[in-house]
Amino acid sequence: MIYYKDEEVVIRNMEEADAPIFVEEYTAQGWHDDIEGYSMRLRDQAEGKCFALTAAYQGHPAGGLYLYLNALEGPFKDKCWPEIVDFNVLKKYQRKGIGNRLMDVAEQIAAQHADTVCLGVGLSREYGTAQRMYVKRGYIPDGSGVWYQDKQCVQYESVCTVDDDLVLFLSKKLRGQ
């Protein structure tokens, strides 16, 4: 299904053919990526658990995200709010508005299911662009502090590493404000 289309960008459901392209491109960027993660998300999409979205720029897969209809972890797990997961745009396609278009589509879909959408964002500098974008889009921290590997961090304990699992959870009201 196509959710958005203009002269350069198409936002559509992820297809099996996107996975090897993303694995190759993200690996070239120095990320640790594997095909199984995409296969799992495609199965979740087929089972109706999530929307797996791909942004194509001038016909080339450029980024994507997954919108789960119920948050998978963290402080929002039992609230029945959609959760945006693994939002990424390939570096060579960044600063072209692709990420905001992906987020627009995800929020529009989420608004059909709940009045709030949520997400977790990494805390290292590699996530700085995403952190800024989420704040500019109206996402606010939930107040539960920092989480590591789906456990809330406790002040003065040394139980985490600054990696992809160290996150801050944010939410945004979509309607009924």
Instruction: Quickly state the pLDDT bin for 118 (edges 50, 70, 90).
Output: very high
Q: Crossing angle of helices 18-28/35-46, nearest 10°?
A: 140
At 122-162, the pLDDT tens digits run 999 989 999 999 999 999 999 999 999 999 999 998 888 88
105 DSSP 8-state letter: H
Residues in Cβ contact with 60 at an 8 Å cutoff, skipping those fewer than 6 apart: 21, 93
Q: How far apart are CA 62 and CA 99, in angstroms?
A: 10
Instruction: Quickly state the pLDDT bin for 176 (edges 50, 70, 90).
Output: low
Q: Which of 32-36, 58-62, 164-168, 173-177 has the highest mean pLDDT?
A: 58-62
- pLDDT above 60 for 177: no
Q: Please state the φ and ψ torsions of residue 82, each to the nearest 5 degrees.
A: -65, 145
Q: Which amino acid is at 104?
A: D
CATH architecture, domain defined by 2-173: 3-Layer(aba) Sandwich (3.40)
